[in-house]
Amino acid sequence: MSFTAEVKNEVSKLETIEIENLSELSAIIRNIGDIERDIKITTENASVARRIFLLVKQSYHQICKVTVRRGYNFNKNYIYILQITHSIEKIIDDLSLNQKYGIPKSYIYADENLIRSYLRGLFLSCGSLNDPKKSRYHMEFSFDNLEYSKFVSKLLNHFRLNSKVLKRDTKYMVYVKEAEKIGDFLRIINAIHAVFYYEDIRIYRDHKNMTNRLNNCEQANVDKMIGTASKQVKEVEKIKEAGGFDLLDEKVKEVAIYRLKYPEVSLKELSEIISVETGKEITKSGLYHRLKKIEELAKKIK
């Protein structure tokens, strides 16, 4: 079972009040309903089908006619068709399904709880969500026109989810890519178990990525240190080959000897070694300045 299906199964079992049911049902019928003389709602998810059946029964005291058939796709999943045959005009009016571009009247999303319910209906009907364990963070909704897509994006951004709209072929996609924002959306629609799973995976992946970055940074520093030390050794050897070793003062010459003796240590380690072995403390900064004089002399010889 896909992660999207698992989230829909969880959300389908939530207990909600009647006014919230209307907002949720409005979003569902708007996106997967076909309104003619009756209303037909089609879904491939059995839990969503049961949810719709229950919402219609509780809100309008009627039993949907349910038809189950095999799909025509490669997976040949079952398709559930729920048919509402009574009170069609009342349902259309109550759920604000006859508005331009399918954007409902404001009473459907009048407060924060109703917005949450409408977003829950959107996810149940046309939302999809990648499993964070298997792929990149991504959540999307697919719609048939730009105006409605902008409306949905506005509802999502009411909760600061940073959703964006993108045209894809003849459809419009509203998507969210930030892991933290997707986790927030799952909280908004009250998919608590999905939130725990999602956050566990997100924290693990973030920790793993941070560890990899630190390891890469540490390796880069080691490579840089080894490269610098190797360059300094070559400079000292160049000076010795040219007979310019006596041109160095005693303190700089001492550093040159220790650099040849310990060719792979860092400046900090080399300063500590010289301080211990000579009994004369030298700081990393002082060591750097003496090595700089060696570099300058090597350039002149070259």
The H or E element that residue 144 is part of is none
pLDDT of residue 160: 95
Spatial separation of the C-alpha atoms in residues 40 and 280, rounded to whole Å: 90
Phi and psi for 245 in degrees, rounded to 5? -65, -35
Q: Higher pLDDT residue, 160 or 275?
A: 160
Spatial separation of the C-alpha atoms in residues 49 and 291, rounded to whole Å: 76
Spatial separation of the C-alpha atoms in residues 280 and 278, rounded to whole Å: 5
Percent of the chain residues topping a pLDDT of 70: 98
Residue (of 13, 259, 27) closest to 125 by Cα position: 27
Tokens read off for 135: 């792929």
pLDDT tens-digit readout, 188-247 = 999 999 999 988 887 887 777 777 777 777 777 777 777 787 887 888 888 778 777 777
Residues 125-131, mean pLDDT to the nearest whole number: 92
Spatial separation of the C-alpha atoms in residues 299 and 239, rounded to whole Å: 9
* Helix, strand, or coil (residue 176): strand
Phi and psi for 66 in degrees, rounded to 5? -110, 130
pTM, rounded to two decimals: 0.70
| pLDDT exceeds cutoff 90 at 132 | no
pLDDT of residue 294: 81
Tokens read off for 279: 């009994």
Q: Higher pLDDT residue, 45 or 207?
A: 45
Tokens read off for 173: 């996609």
DSSP annotation string for 3-37: HHHHHHHHHTT----HHHHHHHHHHHHHHHEEESS
Residues 151-162, mean pLDDT to the nearest whole number: 95
Q: Where are the domains of the chain?
A: 3-190, 215-301
pLDDT of residue 184: 93
| pLDDT exceeds cutoff 70 at 74 | no
CA 175 to chain centre: 11
User: What does DSSP assign to residue 98?
Assistant: S
| pLDDT exceeds cutoff 90 at 297 | no
pLDDT of residue 11: 94
Residues 238-259, mean pLDDT to the nearest whole number: 78
Specify the fold of 3-190: Endonuclease I-creI (3.10.28)
Spatial separation of the C-alpha atoms in residues 82 and 192, rounded to whole Å: 28
Residue (of 194, 196, 197, 199) closest to 7 by Cα position: 194
